[in-house]
Structure 1
């Protein structure tokens, strides 16, 4: 059953799984309505061979009247939804749209509709509903990213796994380098650029996939995919979630390819291999200089912190632990006299640790702490 968003309002049986023909008719009916409110409306391509659907996802962007946002009540009225779980900003709001009696029968699914209504009646519900999720995107860039990443079921997750195997990160916010403890370093937000970098054909993606097998074979053409090194289990490999059936299918497809080729899976890539791929990606996207600058800044911060810190200042001046106010005064005075941490770092580079110590003692003397 779908409908988890309405668990506090409706039993799961009131939001039945939706047959493909009914799903397509619902999408065809609601998309034009939302296009009267937003300049961009789309539903990510569905997973191939999907037997049924739990809800209808719609990505929208750009209110048509130029307003900052469209009120939830307006969308609710337009969709003729009875219930709504509203979320502010660029997030997903959920709408429960009543299923008209006989609606499924017109599409050859009378038995399924009757069975769904019986289940709902057993839980005290006289009506059944579609769950329609409307995600309001921040801008066109996000709208395009989400439309790609959530297209064809678990394909975005599979591509993310492929990127992670090379030390990179792909998600709905773009292509990045995981760089702890700092935030991820962005390579590109454009999924067109990501697909090109991964050696895949966007033309083939746009043409559509009729089967999961076609999706898996397309992924297998990526320059980042190495059958001899692609591990499906072991250290560092997360267990497949029960709901990710397409992802699980891809893992089985990889195993079958490995068995068919009678090859032994090579050891996991080393840190050096990942660093080489990261270097390649930085140069490809023209981000090498910016990344190196951040690396230098981080190295400088670490180097400065090793010398100029509370413990070293307390030791040099001879402060007791309870004299924390005096400690802060000295540290602030050194920063002021040197012109900030960049100035202290310059002293460290030119005169070493003794130079920093001398500045600390001078600041303490001026403040009368010595």
Structure 2
């Protein structure tokens, strides 16, 4: 939440000394009640903090276990342990935001946040506690949340090769599906951090240590075996709806125009990701930033450029999207799932084409009564896609191959030759259905009238008389 969950309480950003003090106390208090309690590694160079994020799992007592107690009760107990004055819970999520008093009796360097504020104003620290239901989920969340913007950086690198990392794990995307339905295109690979880092070519030991600087983190990210940059800006300008082809990252203005909308938003909101796109990647490319260009940049960016010269590096593409897919098949044993998912999607799209384009699209719109046309469409759909007979037989056009696909040309020819007869059949069925409904309505009315006649004292009397 970045320390902004409590609108009515003053939760200013904390200097690192205050943050470290609160984090240490929080971890110590929570380790009395959970087997595992950790905070994700912070981004490099961070001097102020909006809140304190803590992950917990393995409750040591029933009162702290969301599996055995309602989350609101667990959240209340957590608030009591940490001395919270207010809390915010999130529906359906084992997360609680707690506002605790600003630490007292601390050195002067810890007493003031960098924001201007009234000295007498009461201050609080926001602590966000995330409960994970298993060791695997705990380890993944600790991994995925580490180093601030690092996964934004790596995500923009591996995405071009058909890989996606989210809060659940690493996924392989199916190209044929992703532009139309990104969620359905994803095939789960792993939630083990070591397997992810090994697959994308990054050192695991380095990952679990804080980076001393932004430059060090950028160099580490550039060591990903999927990272490479283009040597020259593309002349065309376009905005991608799906993902970019595997043609190397550009950075700068040209690269920004080709970013997904989400990445462009990250550049506006995430300074480190913005530096990666606008400084590090262009600086890796063959045409280095000129002195004139540097004169327009802030000094901290210029300093970064002067201390990390990488022009001409990372310009070689080491692998392709198809090769990464095949490697994923072998390492994670997902080829069968991938192919079955793709086949199912293609069949679904094929049947949708048969219905929308071949059946509906082959019946005229002009000079045809809308009700007659609708009846014709219903009849032909029932024959082709639901196996009903037409004129006493199942036509060849309704037959499917061993994979469930129709002969598109045969279906189209059948529709064009028989839509009028199908319309007449459909209208007759509709009339018969209407007559049957009317008869059932009249029979129901008659039954109700008969039920209203009751036997009273050995005779018949209409109820209510």
Please give the range of the TM-score, normalised by the shorter of the 2 chains: 0.7 to 0.9
In structure 2, what is the equivalent of residue 211 of structure 1?
213
In structure 2, what is the equivalent of residue 5 of structure 1?
5
In structure 2, what is the equivalent of residue 230 of structure 1?
249
Indicate which of 156, 162, 168 corresponds to 1:173.
168
CA distance change for structure 1 residues 313 and 54 in 2, over 3 Å: closer, same or farther?
Answer: closer
Mean Cα deviation higher: 36-45 or 275-284: 275-284
In 2, Cα distance between equivalents of 1:129 and 1:146:
26
Partner SS state of residue 5, structure 1: coil
1:149 touches 1:155 (CA, 8 Å); kept in 2? Answer: no
Deviation (angstroms), 1:100: 3.9
1:230 touches 1:265 (CA, 8 Å); kept in 2? Answer: no
In structure 1, what is the equivalent of residue 85 of structure 2?
82
Aligned pairs (5 A) from 1:22-41: 22-41=18-37
Partner SS state of residue 223, structure 1: coil
How many residue pairs get aligned? The number is 352
Partner SS state of residue 6, structure 1: coil
Mean Cα deviation higher: 256-265 or 294-303: 256-265
In 1, Cα distance between equivalents of 2:215 and 2:362:
67
In structure 2, what is the equivalent of residue 109 of structure 1?
109
In structure 2, what is the equivalent of residue 156 of structure 1?
151
Deviation (angstroms), 1:333: 6.8
CA distance change for structure 1 residues 67 and 230 in 2, over 3 Å: closer, same or farther?
Answer: closer
Partner SS state of residue 119, structure 1: coil
In 2, Cα distance between equivalents of 1:363 and 1:120:
83
In structure 2, what is the equivalent of residue 287 of structure 1?
334
CA distance change for structure 1 residues 330 and 111 in 2, over 3 Å: closer, same or farther?
Answer: same
Q: Which has the higher contact order (CA 8 A, sep 6+)?
A: 1
1:90 touches 1:138 (CA, 8 Å); kept in 2? Answer: no
Aligned pairs (5 A) from 1:237-248: 237=259, 238-239=263-264, 241-248=267-274
1:95 touches 1:133 (CA, 8 Å); kept in 2? Answer: yes
1:187 touches 1:285 (CA, 8 Å); kept in 2? Answer: yes
Question: Which has the larger Rg?
Answer: 2
Indicate which of 99, 102, 114 corresponds to 1:99.
102
In 2, Cα distance between equivalents of 1:300 and 1:309:
14
Partner SS state of residue 210, structure 1: coil
CA distance change for structure 1 residues 167 and 231 in 2, over 3 Å: closer, same or farther?
Answer: farther
In structure 2, what is the equivalent of residue 146 of structure 1?
141
Residue deviations 1:99-154, cap 9 Å, x none? 1432x32xx525526x8795264xxxx42000111123343333222211211121
Partner SS state of residue 267, structure 2: coil
2:98 touches 2:126 (CA, 8 Å); kept in 1? Answer: yes
In 1, Cα distance between equivalents of 2:399 and 2:179:
25
Residue deviations 1:147-193, cap 9 Å, x none? 11211121111111111233322232322234232324123222221
Partner SS state of residue 49, structure 2: coil
TM-score with structure 2 setting the length: 0.64
CA distance change for structure 1 residues 142 and 320 in 2, over 3 Å: closer, same or farther?
Answer: farther
Indicate which of 29, 53, 58 corresponds to 1:57.
53
In 2, Cα distance between equivalents of 1:308 and 1:111:
69
CA distance change for structure 1 residues 135 and 345 in 2, over 3 Å: closer, same or farther?
Answer: farther
Deviation (angstroms), 1:210: 2.4
Contiguous gaps of at least 5 residues in structure 2: 231-247, 289-308, 389-397, 431-465
In 2, Cα distance between equivalents of 1:89 and 1:172:
16
